[in-house]
Amino acid sequence: MKWDKSYDAPNKDYLEVAQYLLSCGFVNLREYYFIICANDSDKSDLPYVVNPYCNNRLEIASDYDEDYDNPIMCDLCERDIFPDTYKKKRYYSLAVTINHLKVMEWFEEQLASLNVTWSKVKIGVYYILVEKNFVNLIVPECCSDKSYFAVDKLRTNPTALITFNKESLNPPLDLYIVPIADLMCKCKTLNEVLHETIEKGVPELLPNVSFQALNCYSYIPLRKTTLPEKKILRLKIIDNIIYVNDVEVISKQATASIRIFRVLLKQFLRDFEAAEEYKFLSVIQIADSLGIEDPEQQVRRPLNRMQQAIAEKLASTLGVNIERDDVIQACNWSGYRLNPSTINLSAN
């Protein structure tokens, strides 16, 4: 089971693991049902579909009753959906989110149980004295101070990264990376990790790398010396319709999505004009600027849907490899922004 993910129709093993992690306080669980806006399986709904490529997942209450409840509106197509009349298929999903505070409390309890001297210098950053050796342990997902990911700091002492998601890390150094799940499942002990980190020594630069800033952390991700051609996506807004490479990705009917997108665009332009680092905006900042009361439901969910819809539409229309972050870039701890590495603006 992966952290911070929704599982559609989870099997018995997933449910047992999720309930165990919930009992430990490590995760929060949310069960919900959803329908898909344009679903080929919903034959009765097909005549009413506005955008046949819209894969928007729309939550629906388990006790939804069309006679008493309002129709469900797709915030991308902005069409009303009548789930009972259109015989929409319902799907079950389990959302798993990390309780970072509880996990870090558990992690610090493990440190305290060892016969070592340790200091918490920042949230997610620990300096440890093991016999006569200093070791740095960093939990990237919990460390908001990017200076600790600078290459020079990472090479000060033997360093290990304790991570919730090993696949998301791509450092240029030969760092010791340990999934925190390995510690929880006792595949490794923290004492073993410390001694293996000492044995590994100060991390060395990996061969054949070039340097380019990483999205969320200040260390440099690994890149082969043979770089792919730089991806450029041309963004245009004409008559309140958003185009990328001349493909309509957000229609003028999707007013809620347009409003959120314009907030990101204004920040992008401010940073461009000021020649500053392109800032991420949190969902709370976006919600405040739009007078929205529920940032999670009214900002984060539409942003996630826009990311998915834009990537799928560009991939299917242009036949190119498009990632979710290529237009609207997300960073777990910082928020969202238009991707300065790929976006090229056209004045219209």
In angstroms, the Cα distances linking 183 to 126, 137, 179 are 16, 13, 7
User: Is pLDDT at 333 greater than 70 in this prediction?
Assistant: no
The residues, any chain, with a CB within 8 Å of residue 35's CB and separated by 6 or more, are 42, 57, 58, 60, 72, 81, 83, 88, 89, 90, 91
Higher pLDDT pick, 172 / 60? 60
Mean pLDDT of 303-309: 87
The CATH number assigned to the domain with range 233-345 reads 1.10.10
The residues, any chain, with a CB within 8 Å of residue 341's CB and separated by 6 or more, are 231
Confidence of residue 69 (pLDDT cuts 50, 70, 90): confident
- Tokens 């942003």, residue? 303
User: Is pLDDT at 19 greater than 50 in this prediction?
Assistant: yes
Sequence ranges of the domains in the chain: 5-98, 100-200, 233-345
Q: What is the pLDDT of residue 208?
A: 56
Mean pLDDT of 173-180: 88
The CATH number assigned to the domain with range 100-200 reads 3.40.1350
292: left (phi over 0), alpha (psi -120 to 50) or beta: beta
Confidence of residue 215 (pLDDT cuts 50, 70, 90): very low
Alpha carbon distance 65, 311 (integer Å):
34
The alpha carbons of the chain give a radius of gyration, in whole angstroms, of 23
Q: What is the pLDDT of residue 47?
A: 92
Least trusted range by pLDDT, from 33-42, 189-198, 297-306: 297-306
> pLDDT for 225-274, tens place per residue?
344 455 778 888 888 888 888 888 888 888 888 999 999 999 988 888 88
User: Is pLDDT at 221 greater than 80 in this prediction?
Assistant: no
With a pLDDT cut of 70, the percent of the chain lying above it is 89
Q: What is the pLDDT of residue 42?
A: 94
User: Is pLDDT at 130 greater than 80 in this prediction?
Assistant: yes
The model carries a pTM of 0.55
Alpha carbon distance 137, 118 (integer Å):
10
Determine the angle formed by the axes of helices 255-274 and 283-290, rounding to 10 degrees: 110
Q: What is the pLDDT of residue 44?
A: 93
Confidence of residue 129 (pLDDT cuts 50, 70, 90): very high
**Which has the closest alpha carbon to 14: 39, 31, 35, 37?**
31
> pLDDT for 73-84, tens place per residue?
888 888 899 999
